[in-house]
C-alpha cells in the first residue's frame, strides 16, 4: 500500500522524473516500513540483518502526509502564478520575475518529496535537469565544493588577474580529455601530461537556471609563453570557440557539436607544448555567455592574444572558468611532430 495519495502520486502534470523508476525502491520509500527489506543493500544477509529504527513506522506516514499537503498548497500557488504569467506581456520584466518565482516554487514543492530526496542524494548521475528541483540540488552541491575549489585554484595560480580581472561564477565548467577509457574530469589546477592534452578536451557547461537556447564562447589561453625580446611572458590563444548553442540538457561541447558548423571554431586547437626548463604553463579555460547574441566578424590572433580587449570588444560576460597546467615532458616532441610544429627551445639558467 502506497502512502502517496495526493499530488505526489499524480504524474499527469508532474514530470515522471520526479519519481523513482524502480518499483522495489518506490515501495520502500512509500511504505511506513520496509516491506521487502532495504533495497539499497545488495547482500541478502545484510538485508536480513538490517532493522529500521523503532518508531519510524508510526511517524513517517504522518510526516509524509504533512509534507504532501504543503506541496499541494505550493502547487496551488504555482497555478495562480501560471495564470499571471499567461496574462503578462512577453519579455516584460514582470514576466521574467514571475517565471523566476515559478521556478523557485516548483523546486520548493518537490524538495522534500522522498523520491526526489532519494534521487538527489543517491542517484545523482541520472538527474533530470529540466526540473528546477534537480537543478537547485546540483547548484547546492556545486556551491558546497567545486565552485570554491575552482575559485581557489584560479586565484592561487593567479589566473585571476593574469588573464581576466575577476569572475562571478554562475556555471559549473568541467573538462575531460579523451586519453583513456575512464571518463574522469580534470581537477582544476592539475598538471597534465602533454600526451593527455594532445587532443582537444570535451567541455561540459552546467547551467543552474533554465536555459533553452543560449550561445557560449569558450577561450583557452596560456599566459606563460616566454617573450624574450621584451623580457616578459605573452598570452597565446590555444583554442577559441564561439556561438556554441547549449541548453540544460545538451550541455557538452564535443567534436560532434563543432563539426555541425565549422564557423563555430574561431581558431583550431593547439596543444600545450611547454619549452624545456621554462616555467609550468597555466591553461585557463574561460566560458562566456553571449545572452543570445551571435558574435560577428571576429578576428583573433593566436600569438600575443589580448583576452581583455577581446572580451570588451565583443561585450562578453564571463560566467565560468577552469584551469589546468602543463609542463615539459618527454611527450612534448611527439606532440610537436603530430601538429607539425617547429622544434622546441631549451632554456638555461644563464641566458646565452
Partner 1 sequence: MLEMGQSEIEHSITGYSPPFVEVFTMSVRNFASVAAGSELAGISSALLLSRIPLVTPDLHPFEAAYYNYQNELKRRLMWTFPKYYYFRKGTVAEREFVQAQKYPLFKRPGVWFPRGVPDLKHGRDRRFKEEVTLPKQQERADEDDELSKPVVFNSRVTAADEAGDLTSLERRLSRTLYLLIKTKGAWKFPSFPLVEPKPLHEAAEQGLREIGSVNMNTWTVSNTPTAVLKYSNGKLLDAETQEKEVEREYFIKSHIIGGDFQISSSDVEEFRWLTKEEVEQTVEPQYYGQLGHLLSTV
Partner 2 sequence: MLSNVRTSIIRQVDYLTSGTQLHFIRTKRKKAGSDKSEVRKLVTQLSVLSANRKQPKLLKFSNEDYVKHQVIQKSWNLYVRDKKAEEANILQKQYESIRAANEDLQSVSKELFSFANTREPSKRFPLELRVPTEYPPNQIWHHDYTPKVEKKK
Candidates 48-56, 150-158, 208-216, 283-291: pick the segment binding partner 1 (CB under 8 A). 48-56
Q: Choose from partner 2, partner 1, none: what does 118 bind? Cβ within 5-8 Å by kind.
A: partner 2
User: Phi/psi at 127 (nearest 5 deg)?
Assistant: -80, 140
Beta strands (DSSP E) in the chain are: 172-176, 191-192, 202-206, 214-227, 232-246, 252-253, 265-267, 281-289, 317-326
Distance CA 273, CA 238 (A): 10
Q: Count CB-CB contacts under 10 A for residue 122.
A: 10
Which residues in this chain contact partner 2 in the complex, by CB under 8 A?
Answer: 25, 28-29, 34, 38-41, 50, 52-53, 56, 59-60, 62-64, 66-67, 70, 112, 114, 117-118, 121-122
Query: Which residues lie closer than 8 Å to 91 by C-beta, 6 or more apart?
Result: none
Query: CB of residue 53 vs partner 2: minimum separation in angstroms?
Result: 7
# chain residues binding partner 1, by CB under 8 A: 12
CA 324, 347, 162, 215 dihedral sign is negative
Query: CB of residue 307 vs partner 2: minimum separation in angstroms?
Result: 45
Q: Choose from partner 2, partner 1, none: what does 341 bind? Cβ within 5-8 Å by kind.
A: none
Closest CA to 224 of 307, 331, 326: 326
Instruction: Note whether 55 binds partner 1 by CB under 8 A.
Output: yes
Instruction: Note whether 53 binds partner 1 by CB under 8 A.
Output: yes
Instruction: Note whether 63 binds partner 1 by CB under 8 A.
Output: yes
Instruction: Note whether 51 binds partner 1 by CB under 8 A.
Output: yes
Q: Choose from partner 1, partner 2, none: what does 191 bind? Cβ within 5-8 Å by kind.
A: none
Distance CA 63, CA 66 (A): 5
Q: Choose from partner 1, partner 2, none: what does 138 bind? Cβ within 5-8 Å by kind.
A: none
Of positions 24, 48, 96, 228, contacts partner 1 by CB under 8 A: 48
Query: CB of residue 66 vs partner 1: minimum separation in angstroms?
Result: 7
Q: Choose from partner 2, partner 1, none: what does 39 bind? Cβ within 5-8 Å by kind.
A: partner 2
Instruction: Note whether 66 binds partner 1 by CB under 8 A.
Output: yes
Sheet containing strand 202-206, edge to edge, reads: 172-176, 202-206, 252-253
Grid cell digits, residue 218: 569558450
Instruction: Note whether 59 binds partner 1 by CB under 8 A.
Output: yes
CA angle 231, 232, 234 (to 5 degrees): 135
Amino acid at each position: 500500500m502506497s502512502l502517496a495519495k495526493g499530488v505526489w502520486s499524480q504524474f499527469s502534470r508532474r514530470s515522471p522524473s520526479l519519481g523513482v523508476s524502480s518499483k522495489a525502491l518506490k515501495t520502500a520509500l512509500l511504505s511506513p516500513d520496509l516491506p521487502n527489506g532495504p533495497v539499497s543493500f545488495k547482500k541478502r544477509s545484510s538485508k536480513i540483518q538490517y532493522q529500521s529504527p523503532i518508531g519510524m513506522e508510526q511517524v513517517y506516514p504522518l510526516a509524509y502526509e504533512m509534507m504532501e499537503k504543503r506541496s499541494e498548497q505550493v502547487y496551488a500557488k504555482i497555478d495562480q502564478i501560471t495564470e499571471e504569467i499567461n496574462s503578462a506581456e512577453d519579455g516584460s520584466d514582470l514576466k521574467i520575475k514571475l517565471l523566476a518565482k515559478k521556478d523557485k516554487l516548483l523546486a520548493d514543492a518537490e524538495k522534500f518529496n522522498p523520491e526526489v530526496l532519494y534521487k538527489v542524494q543517491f542517484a545523482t548521475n541520472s538527474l533530470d535537469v529540466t526540473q528546477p528541483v534537480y537543478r537547485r540540488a546540483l547548484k547546492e552541491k556545486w556551491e558546497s565544493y567545486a565552485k570554491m575549489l575552482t575559485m581557489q585554484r584560479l586565484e592561487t595560480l593567479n589566473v585571476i588577474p593574469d588573464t581576466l580581472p575577476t569572475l562571478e561564477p554562475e556555471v559549473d565548467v568541467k573538462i575531460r580529455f579523451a586519453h583513456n577509457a575512464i571518463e574522469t574530469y580534470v581537477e582544476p589546477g592539475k598538471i597534465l601530461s602533454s600526451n593527455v592534452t594532445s587532443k582537444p578536451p570535451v567541455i561540459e557547461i552546467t547551467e543552474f537556471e533554465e536555459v533553452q537556447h543560449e550561445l557560449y564562447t569558450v577561450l583557452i589561453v596560456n599566459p606563460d609563453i616566454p617573450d624574450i625580446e621584451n623580457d616578459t611572458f605573452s598570452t597565446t590563444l590555444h583554442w577559441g570557440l564561439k556561438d556554441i548553442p547549449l541548453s540544460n540538457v545538451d550541455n557538452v561541447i564535443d567534436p560532434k557539436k563543432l563539426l555541425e558548423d565549422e564557423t563555430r571554431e574561431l581558431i583550431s586547437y593547439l596543444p600545450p607544448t611547454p619549452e624545456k626548463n621554462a616555467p609550468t604553463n597555466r591553461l585557463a579555460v574561460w566560458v562566456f555567455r553571449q545572452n543570445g547574441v551571435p558574435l560577428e566578424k571576429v578576428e583573433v590572433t593566436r600569438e600575443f592574444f589580448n583576452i581583455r580587449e577581446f572580451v570588451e570588444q565583443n561585450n562578453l560576460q564571463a560566467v565560468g572558468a577552469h584551469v589546468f597546467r602543463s609542463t615539459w615532458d618527454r611527450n612534448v616532441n611527439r606532440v610537436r611532430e603530430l601538429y607539425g610544429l617547429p622544434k622546441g627551445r631549451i632554456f638555461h639558467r644563464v641566458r646565452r
